[in-house]
Amino acid sequence: MNIPKGLHYTKEHEWVSVDDNIATVGISDFAQQSLGDVTYIQLPKEGEQVRKDDPFGIVESVKAVSDLYSPVTGRVVEINLPLLQAPELLNSDPYNDGWMIKVEVKDESDLEDLMSSENYQEYIEEKS
């Protein structure tokens, strides 16, 4: 299982990378493996506000429909349009081509509750 270092992770299996005050959000390799083949994704529109720990979208797979939870509060500044046309990118490349949204972070303290790659690895092992 791929858990890149340098990213932050949530208990709901989203990852976040922050550059200046822009957070790029996606789902982890563990999440995409658990979901199976992704068939559909629903994302917010650019300009919409998202709130930390609140749902911002939906991912559907052959196994389940799951909410996506925002790891930060802020304004969506970009969505991954190719992902809407090819949701299978979540399965093939969850950390690069499979990113979902970019959010202008309102409060950087939101990141303090997130896990490091090492903590996330331990979290997954405890839940398995």
Domains delineated in the chain? 8-106 (2.40.50.100)
> Of 39, 36, 25, 30, which Cα lies nearest the Cα of 1?
30
Token pair of 89 as six digits: 């990118």
Contact predicate 50/70, CB 8 Å = yes
pLDDT in tens, 11-25: 999 999 999 999 999
18's CB contacts (< 8 A; 6+ apart) are 8, 24, 105, 108, 111
pLDDT, residue 127, reads 78
Class of residue 84 by CB neighbours under 10 A (exposed 0-12, middle 13-18, buried 19+): middle
pLDDT by residue (tens digit) across 72-106? 999 999 999 999 999 999 999 999 999 999 999 99
Please tell me the distance from the alpha carbon of residue 58 to that of residue 80, in angstroms, as a whole number. 14
CA angle 4/45/24 to nearest 5° reads 15
Sign of CA dihedral 31, 37, 43, 46: positive
State pTM to two decimals. Answer: 0.94
